[in-house]
């Protein structure tokens, strides 16, 4: 199986969630057990045996990849959620969106001081969500080892915003 096969399975959905957006739909990968395992294996190969203690997964599709990857790496999984969705004390980070802003949160006790953390999401666009998430990990005491995305929308230049972190995205559009 190749990255090309995974890329071919991603479906374009025009005008979702609003007119002018070409949404990259990963559900064809998720519903196919062979493709889903291959996607997780792409990430796992990079980090197996490297001491990752936690996989931080970004709300919501990142939860799917992060949970599966944490199991493979024998690591814990930490959820980075939208404000108001976590039940315990949280750190919060607000970041700008195209029209407005959003706030993410993580539990204050999610990481041990200096603990190696892998941040995972399905897609890198402008980088705002990932940057806020990485900063939350650091504020909560974790050490960001790498940011991993299945897909990168290169034309949005999110990688530039995340230049201080190692970054992996095998599928680029």
Residue 87's pLDDT is what? 97
The pLDDT value given to residue 99: 72
Residue 117 pLDDT:
98
Are the C-beta atoms of 10 and 29 separated by less than 8 Å?
yes
The fold adopted by the segment(s) 50-172 is Rossmann fold (3.40.50)
The ranges assigned to domains in the chain are 50-172
Residues 79 and 106: their CA atoms lie apart, in Å, by: 7
CA distances from 63 to 18, 69, 92, 121 (A): 24, 10, 18, 7
Residue 11 annotated among the catalytic residues of the structure: no
Phi, psi angles (nearest 5°) of residue 129: -65, -45
Active-site option among 61, 139, 143, 172: 61
Point out the catalytic residue in the list 4, 98, 160, 164. Answer: 98
Question: Cβ atoms within 10 A of the Cβ of 51, count?
Answer: 10
Radius of gyration for the chain, computed over Cα atoms and rounded to the nearest angstrom: 15
Cα separation, 112 vs 121, in Å, equals 22
Residues 6+ apart with CB under 8 A from 105: 80, 81, 82, 83, 84, 85, 86, 90, 91, 92, 93, 136
Nearest to 148 by CA among 173, 120, 127, 124: 120
Determine whether 160 is an active site residue. no
In DSSP terms, 79 is beta-bridged to: 57
Residues near 40 by Cβ (< 8 Å), separated by ≥ 6?
65, 68, 69, 72
pLDDT at 97: 80
Q: To the nearest 10°, the Cα dihedral for 136, 100, 148, 29?
A: 130
Successive 10-residue mean pLDDT values, the chain, 173 residues? 94 95 97 98 97 97 98 98 97 87 97 98 97 98 98 97 98 98
């Amino acid at each position: 199986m190749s990255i090309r096969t995974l890329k071919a399975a991603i479906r374009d959905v025009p005008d979702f969630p609003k007119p002018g957006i070409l949404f990259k739909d990963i559900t064809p990968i998720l519903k196919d057990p062979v493709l889903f395992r291959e996607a997780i294996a792409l990430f796992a190969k990079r980090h197996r045996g490297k001491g990752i203690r936690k996989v931080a997964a970004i709300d919501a599709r990142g939860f799917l990849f992060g949970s599966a990857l944490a199991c493979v790496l024998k690591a814990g999984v930490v959820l980075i959620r939208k404000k108001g969705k976590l039940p315990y004390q949280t750190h919060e980070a607000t970041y700008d969106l195209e029209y407005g802003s959003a706030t993410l949160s993580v539990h204050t006790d999610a990481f041990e001081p200096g603990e190696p953390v892998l941040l995972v999401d399905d897609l890198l666009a402008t980088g705002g969500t990932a940057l806020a998430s990485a900063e939350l990990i650091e504020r909560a005491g974790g050490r960001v080892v790498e940011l991993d995305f299945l897909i990168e929308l290169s034309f949005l230049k999110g990688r530039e915003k995340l230049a201080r972190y190692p970054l992996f995205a095998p599928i680029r559009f």
